Structure formats: C-alpha cells, structure tokens
Amino acid sequence: MVDIQSMKDDRRIAIKKVGVKGLRYPITVLDRANSLQHTTATVNLYADLPHDFKGTHMSRFIEVFNEHRRDLSMPRFLAMLDELRGALEAETAYCDLHFPYFIEKSAPVSRQKGMMSYECSYEGSSSASGREFWVTVQVPVQTVCPCSKAISEYGAHNQRGLVKVRVKLGPFFWIEDIVAIVEKSASSDVYTLLKREDEKFVTERAFDKPMFVEDVVREVYKELLVIGTFPKFSVEAENFESIHNHSAYALAEHDQAANPLPD
C-alpha cells in the first residue's frame, strides 16, 4: 500500500515534536513493598521529524510503548525511548507519562489502613547526544501557620497543601523515599482513613509543628541531599489558604553543576 507518511515534503520546515498525546494505558512500575504496581497512565509520545518527511508513523509509537508497558521502571523507560527513536528513525524521541501511585498507609493511632494516591510523572528524552530523565512526585500535606499561632489566643489557621518534587535521575531511589521526606517536612501528613482518636492526634501534632511554605520547601530540599547527588532538582510548595482568597507558594531549585552546595 502507498506510504503517504514517508513521502517527501518540499516546505523545508522541520518539526521538533510530533506524535500521540493523551493516550490512556495500563502500565507497571516498581513498588518497594510489593515489587510491582499496576496503575493507569496518561501518556504523551513524540519524536522529531526532518524537514523533508511528510509525516511520522503514529502506530509505531503505540507498538513500542505497548512492548514496554509491563516494565516501566526508570531504567526501562529510557530503553523504551531508545527503541522508539530507532523505530521512527528520529534524531530525538520524547515521552512524558503521568500516573497515580498508591501506597498503603496506617492511621497514626488506630492503625486503620487505607490507600493513599500520589500523582507522579516520568519525563525523558533520548538522542544521539544523550539521554535525560526526570521524575516528579506530588505529595499532599497539612500545614499550620506559624504567624497565626503566634498572634491568636484560641488556635491557628491550617490548610492542606501540595508539595511537588522534581528530580533529574542520579542515584537510585524509591517513590516512597520522596513521599516520606515530604510528609515529615510538613506540619503533618494527610490520610485517607482516620478515626476520632487519629483526628485528635493529627490535629495536635500539626499544631505543635507550624510551618510556612518556605519552611516546608527548605526542609524537603535539605533532606533530598541526603538521598544522594541528584544533578538537578526542584521543590515547590503550595498552601491552599483557609483564610485567604489565594494560595501561598514557594520554590527552590538545585543545580549541582552550576551551584555547588553552600558550606
């Protein structure tokens, strides 16, 4: 049959990214407690297209991804990109996939168990000049305002927040490692299932540990350095304020090459 995509194009305009976007697909990722975890991802797959090619072969994106979906551990993700680049005869292949990652979590007093969901993503590229891979983990937290606690006679305002950690692949780590760092850096972590005795404990624990968004970002930043030397990482915190019509926000970034650690 006629292969329209492989025909020549005379407009001399190269395309940086072309491919499939918003693909919903079951995948398997590593899980520290259970070895593997099955989840569902939203996937974007792209490749570059030389100026003289009319189109890319969209089906090849799905063919390659389907072969790798049962093992999308971090090293295998990059292997998938290498294969995708070869299948499409492209200079560069790209992928970003977004998925919920589930961790079983016990309430602090009753020990009742529930499943917590954390939004995660893998982003990467593969080219002749090298490969790049980023992991993002988003963790919900609770914070109590230190200023409110200091000036109020009856309590302090508190709110849920969201902390987003984005790291460039360096040392091996588990998603659970990032979650644990963030949760201990806030006033309190949050839970899916709490009984009354748990609510009392969580409320009082948070009140005893008030944190600004700046505090949370700095604590997470400091603890990330303990895992190992990530070439780059960023930490964002957003508090969904309970007494303001806006969020409080903070961001810190680390680049080991450009900015060595301060003494």
Express each pLDDT in 110-144 by its tens digit.
999 999 999 999 999 999 899 999 999 999 999 99
Asked if 179 contacts 119 with a C-beta cutoff of 8 angstroms, the reply is: no
Give the whole-angstrom CA distance, residue 29 versus residue 32.
10
Give the SS3 label for residue 254.
strand
- Average pLDDT (155-178) is 93
Q: Compute the mean pLDDT over every residue in the chain, rounded to the nearest whole number.
A: 92
Render pLDDT for 51-101 as a digit per residue (tens, 0 to 9).
Answer: 777 767 889 999 999 999 999 887 889 999 999 999 998 999 999 999 999
Give the whole-angstrom CA distance, residue 210 versus residue 227.
25
Q: Pick from 96, 5, 1, 3: which is nearest to 50 by CA?
A: 5
Which pLDDT band holds residue 262 (cuts at 50, 70, 90)?
low
At 5 the pLDDT is 57
152-172: b (≥16 Cβ within 10 Å) or e: eeeebebbebbbbbbbbbeee
**pTM, rounded to two decimals:** 0.91
At 170 the pLDDT is 84
In the predicted structure, residue 192 carries a pLDDT above the cut 70: yes
Render pLDDT for 226-246 as a digit per residue (tens, 0 to 9).
Answer: 887 799 999 999 999 999 999
In the predicted structure, residue 45 carries a pLDDT above the cut 90: yes
In the predicted structure, residue 172 carries a pLDDT above the cut 90: no
- DSSP element (H, E) containing 194: none
Render pLDDT for 153-165 as a digit per residue (tens, 0 to 9).
Answer: 998 999 999 999 9
Fold observed for domain 129-263: Urate Oxidase (3.10.270)
By percentage, how much of the chain surpasses pLDDT 70? 94
- DSSP element (H, E) containing 190: none
Which pLDDT band holds residue 149 (cuts at 50, 70, 90)?
very high
